[in-house]
Amino acid sequence: MLRGDRRFHQLLLANFAVSFVFMQLASTYGLFMTGRGFSASTYGMVLSLNGALIVFCELPLTSFTRRFPARKVMALGYALIGGGFALNPFAHSVVGLAACMTVFTLGEMLALPMASAYVADLAPPQMRGRYMGVNGMTWSLALIVGPAVGMRLFAINPAAYWIACAALGVLAAVIISIPTDARSAQRHVVS
Protein backbone atom coordinates (compact mmCIF):
# COMPACT_ATOMS: atom_id res chain seq x y z
CA MET A 1 0.00 0.00 0.00
CA LEU A 2 2.71 2.51 1.01
CA ARG A 3 4.79 1.78 -2.08
CA GLY A 4 1.91 2.19 -4.51
CA ASP A 5 0.35 5.33 -3.00
CA ARG A 6 1.14 7.99 -5.61
CA ARG A 7 -0.53 10.80 -3.69
CA PHE A 8 1.67 10.02 -0.70
CA HIS A 9 4.81 9.89 -2.85
CA GLN A 10 3.82 13.23 -4.32
CA LEU A 11 3.45 14.70 -0.83
CA LEU A 12 6.82 13.28 0.21
CA LEU A 13 8.51 14.90 -2.77
CA ALA A 14 6.81 18.24 -2.13
CA ASN A 15 7.66 18.11 1.58
CA PHE A 16 11.27 17.26 0.82
CA ALA A 17 11.58 20.26 -1.52
CA VAL A 18 10.06 22.71 0.95
CA SER A 19 11.86 21.23 3.96
CA PHE A 20 15.17 22.21 2.33
CA VAL A 21 14.01 25.83 2.52
CA PHE A 22 12.70 25.38 6.04
CA MET A 23 16.03 24.00 7.30
CA GLN A 24 17.82 27.16 6.16
CA LEU A 25 16.38 29.00 9.17
CA ALA A 26 18.73 27.13 11.49
CA SER A 27 21.82 27.54 9.32
CA THR A 28 22.30 29.93 6.44
CA TYR A 29 19.69 32.43 7.59
CA GLY A 30 21.74 33.32 10.66
CA LEU A 31 24.84 33.82 8.52
CA PHE A 32 22.86 36.01 6.16
CA MET A 33 21.55 38.21 8.96
CA THR A 34 24.87 38.62 10.76
CA GLY A 35 26.57 39.21 7.40
CA ARG A 36 24.15 42.09 6.90
CA GLY A 37 25.27 43.57 10.21
CA PHE A 38 22.32 42.49 12.34
CA SER A 39 23.10 41.19 15.81
CA ALA A 40 22.53 37.66 17.05
CA SER A 41 19.77 39.04 19.28
CA THR A 42 18.01 40.49 16.22
CA TYR A 43 18.25 37.07 14.56
CA GLY A 44 16.71 35.55 17.69
CA MET A 45 13.99 38.18 17.74
CA VAL A 46 13.02 37.51 14.12
CA LEU A 47 12.96 33.76 14.78
CA SER A 48 10.88 34.38 17.90
CA LEU A 49 8.34 36.17 15.73
CA ASN A 50 7.87 32.86 13.92
CA GLY A 51 7.11 31.09 17.18
CA ALA A 52 4.80 33.83 18.44
CA LEU A 53 2.79 33.86 15.23
CA ILE A 54 2.41 30.09 15.40
CA VAL A 55 1.28 30.18 19.04
CA PHE A 56 -1.31 32.89 18.48
CA CYS A 57 -2.45 32.31 14.90
CA GLU A 58 -2.02 28.69 13.86
CA LEU A 59 -5.10 27.17 15.53
CA PRO A 60 -7.55 29.81 14.31
CA LEU A 61 -6.01 29.68 10.83
CA THR A 62 -6.12 25.87 10.76
CA SER A 63 -9.74 25.91 11.88
CA PHE A 64 -10.51 28.15 8.92
CA THR A 65 -8.41 26.38 6.27
CA ARG A 66 -9.54 22.84 7.01
CA ARG A 67 -12.73 23.46 5.05
CA PHE A 68 -10.72 23.96 1.83
CA PRO A 69 -9.10 21.33 -0.41
CA ALA A 70 -5.99 20.12 1.40
CA ARG A 71 -3.72 20.08 -1.61
CA LYS A 72 -4.59 23.67 -2.58
CA VAL A 73 -3.94 24.92 0.96
CA MET A 74 -0.63 23.06 1.06
CA ALA A 75 0.36 24.44 -2.35
CA LEU A 76 -0.31 28.00 -1.20
CA GLY A 77 1.61 27.36 2.02
CA TYR A 78 4.61 25.87 0.21
CA ALA A 79 4.75 28.82 -2.20
CA LEU A 80 4.60 31.28 0.71
CA ILE A 81 7.39 29.43 2.55
CA GLY A 82 9.69 29.64 -0.47
CA GLY A 83 8.63 33.14 -1.44
CA GLY A 84 8.74 34.57 2.07
CA PHE A 85 12.20 33.19 2.62
CA ALA A 86 13.48 34.32 -0.78
CA LEU A 87 12.34 37.90 -0.11
CA ASN A 88 14.95 38.30 2.65
CA PRO A 89 17.74 39.79 0.50
CA PHE A 90 15.35 42.66 -0.32
CA ALA A 91 14.80 43.40 3.38
CA HIS A 92 17.22 46.00 4.72
CA SER A 93 15.64 46.63 8.11
CA VAL A 94 14.29 44.67 11.05
CA VAL A 95 10.77 45.56 9.92
CA GLY A 96 11.51 44.16 6.46
CA LEU A 97 12.96 40.97 7.92
CA ALA A 98 9.91 40.65 10.18
CA ALA A 99 7.63 41.03 7.16
CA CYS A 100 9.53 38.27 5.33
CA MET A 101 9.29 36.05 8.40
CA THR A 102 5.56 36.74 8.62
CA VAL A 103 5.05 35.58 5.02
CA PHE A 104 7.21 32.51 5.67
CA THR A 105 5.30 31.70 8.87
CA LEU A 106 1.94 32.14 7.20
CA GLY A 107 3.05 29.55 4.66
CA GLU A 108 4.22 27.28 7.46
CA MET A 109 0.90 27.60 9.29
CA LEU A 110 -1.04 26.84 6.11
CA ALA A 111 1.04 23.93 4.85
CA LEU A 112 2.41 21.94 7.75
CA PRO A 113 -0.72 21.19 9.82
CA MET A 114 -2.62 20.44 6.62
CA ALA A 115 0.15 18.15 5.37
CA SER A 116 0.12 16.17 8.63
CA ALA A 117 -3.65 15.79 8.50
CA TYR A 118 -3.42 14.87 4.82
CA VAL A 119 -0.92 12.09 5.59
CA ALA A 120 -3.20 10.70 8.28
CA ASP A 121 -6.15 10.92 5.89
CA LEU A 122 -4.28 9.09 3.11
CA ALA A 123 -3.07 6.26 5.31
CA PRO A 124 -5.14 3.20 6.02
CA PRO A 125 -5.82 3.19 9.79
CA GLN A 126 -3.46 0.29 10.46
CA MET A 127 -0.61 2.06 8.59
CA ARG A 128 -0.86 5.62 9.93
CA GLY A 129 2.27 5.24 12.01
CA ARG A 130 4.26 4.08 8.99
CA TYR A 131 2.97 6.90 6.80
CA MET A 132 3.74 9.49 9.47
CA GLY A 133 7.18 7.97 10.06
CA VAL A 134 8.11 8.03 6.38
CA ASN A 135 6.84 11.60 6.11
CA GLY A 136 8.99 12.54 9.10
CA MET A 137 11.99 10.95 7.43
CA THR A 138 11.75 13.43 4.55
CA TRP A 139 12.16 16.25 7.05
CA SER A 140 15.00 14.43 8.80
CA LEU A 141 16.82 13.91 5.53
CA ALA A 142 16.43 17.61 4.73
CA LEU A 143 17.82 18.42 8.18
CA ILE A 144 20.87 16.31 7.40
CA VAL A 145 21.67 17.68 3.95
CA GLY A 146 19.77 20.99 3.68
CA PRO A 147 21.95 23.19 5.89
CA ALA A 148 25.20 21.99 4.32
CA VAL A 149 23.91 22.38 0.76
CA GLY A 150 22.39 25.77 1.57
CA MET A 151 25.53 27.14 3.21
CA ARG A 152 27.70 25.89 0.35
CA LEU A 153 25.45 27.46 -2.28
CA PHE A 154 25.23 30.71 -0.29
CA ALA A 155 29.02 30.86 -0.08
CA ILE A 156 29.42 30.27 -3.81
CA ASN A 157 26.57 32.43 -5.12
CA PRO A 158 24.12 34.17 -2.75
CA ALA A 159 21.77 35.15 -5.59
CA ALA A 160 21.54 31.52 -6.72
CA TYR A 161 20.83 30.51 -3.12
CA TRP A 162 17.81 32.84 -2.82
CA ILE A 163 16.54 31.85 -6.26
CA ALA A 164 16.87 28.17 -5.30
CA CYS A 165 14.85 28.76 -2.11
CA ALA A 166 12.06 30.43 -4.08
CA ALA A 167 12.20 27.73 -6.75
CA LEU A 168 11.96 24.94 -4.17
CA GLY A 169 8.86 26.51 -2.64
CA VAL A 170 7.25 26.89 -6.05
CA LEU A 171 8.33 23.37 -7.04
CA ALA A 172 6.71 21.95 -3.90
CA ALA A 173 3.51 23.88 -4.67
CA VAL A 174 3.45 22.59 -8.24
CA ILE A 175 4.18 19.00 -7.20
CA ILE A 176 1.33 18.88 -4.69
CA SER A 177 -1.04 20.58 -7.14
CA ILE A 178 -0.71 17.99 -9.90
CA PRO A 179 -3.52 15.43 -9.76
CA THR A 180 -2.18 11.88 -9.69
CA ASP A 181 -5.39 10.14 -10.75
CA ALA A 182 -9.11 10.80 -11.16
CA ARG A 183 -9.78 10.33 -7.46
CA SER A 184 -7.12 12.78 -6.33
CA ALA A 185 -8.36 15.38 -8.81
CA GLN A 186 -11.62 15.58 -6.91
CA ARG A 187 -12.05 17.99 -4.06
CA HIS A 188 -10.20 16.51 -1.11
CA VAL A 189 -11.02 18.12 2.21
CA VAL A 190 -9.30 17.03 5.40
CA SER A 191 -11.81 16.79 8.21
- Name the residue range of residue 66's domain: 7-179
* Distance from C-alpha of 44 to C-alpha of 46, rounded to nearest angstrom: 5
DSSP 123: S
Q: pLDDT tens string for the chain (191 positions)? A: 677 899 999 999 999 999 999 999 999 999 999 999 999 999 999 999 999 999 999 999 999 999 999 999 999 999 999 999 999 999 999 999 999 999 999 999 999 999 999 999 999 999 999 999 999 999 999 999 999 999 999 999 999 999 999 999 999 999 999 998 645 433 344 44
Q: 185 in a domain, yes or no?
A: no
Distance in angstroms (rounded) separating the CA atoms of residues 165 and 157: 13
Residue 162 maps to a domain: yes
2 within a domain of the structure (yes/no): no
- Count of structural domains within the chain: 1
* pTM exceeds 0.95 for this model: no
Q: Determine the Cα–Cα distance for residues 130 and 141; give it in Å rounded to an integer.
A: 16
- CATH number for the domain harbouring residue 69: 1.20.1250.20
Rounded to 5°, the CA angle 152-150-136 comes to 140
**Which residues is 69 bridged to in the sheet?**
189
